[in-house]
Amino acid sequence: MTAGLVLICLSGLVISTHTYWIHEKITGTTTSFCASDSLFSCDDVIGHETYGYAPVIGLPWGLIGMGVFAALLYASMMVQKEPDAPGRTRMLQVLMLFSGGGVPVILLLISYEVQIEKLCQYCSMAHLANVLVLVTSVRMFRATQDDAWSRMARADLSPRVQGQSEEA
């Protein structure tokens, strides 16, 4: 399960990086990258002059996503590297805090998409990655509260955990 969590966080980081790249590509130019007359148009969402930036701090959403997913990736890698370490619970709490804090932001971004009547498929994938991190980290945290964690650690496909299982 920890390998899956790392993969989800890495995917979120890649998608957020891509949305930031799109933002930089279309901002200030007449270049159209993924515009469409249909419901799906990431240009209209990511490049929106008002909704393409975080309120108050004014940073592009893709850049914020990159920072958040980098932190989530670090925390998930710490859990994967040392699944039985005492800090495991703290890292899972960090994962829950960051991804849980992202839910209101996701709702805000969806409200922006509803207002401009366009959807960004890349943004939606980043939102999905965030929700999957939240669900997975909550399940993992609950598993640490009973014996389920040791069963999950033995079933994990990461080489480090397999090597420990074979030695035992």
CATH number, position 86: 1.20.1440.130
Is the whole-model pTM more than 0.75?
A: yes
Supply the pLDDT for residue 155: 63
Supply the pLDDT for residue 96: 95
Given a cut of 70, whether residue 16 has pLDDT beyond it is yes
Residue 164 lies in a domain: no
Supply the pLDDT for residue 165: 47
Residue type, 111: S
Confidence grade of residue 11 (pLDDT, cut at 50, 70, 90): very high
Residue 67 lies in a domain: yes
Mean pLDDT of 101-105: 94
Residue 79 lies in a domain: yes
Residue 165 lies in a domain: no
Supply the pLDDT for residue 30: 62
Residue 166 lies in a domain: no
Total count of domains within the chain: 1
State the residue range of the domain holding 127: 2-29+40-158
- 129 burial type by CB count under 10 A (0-12 exposed, 13-18 middle, 19+ buried): buried
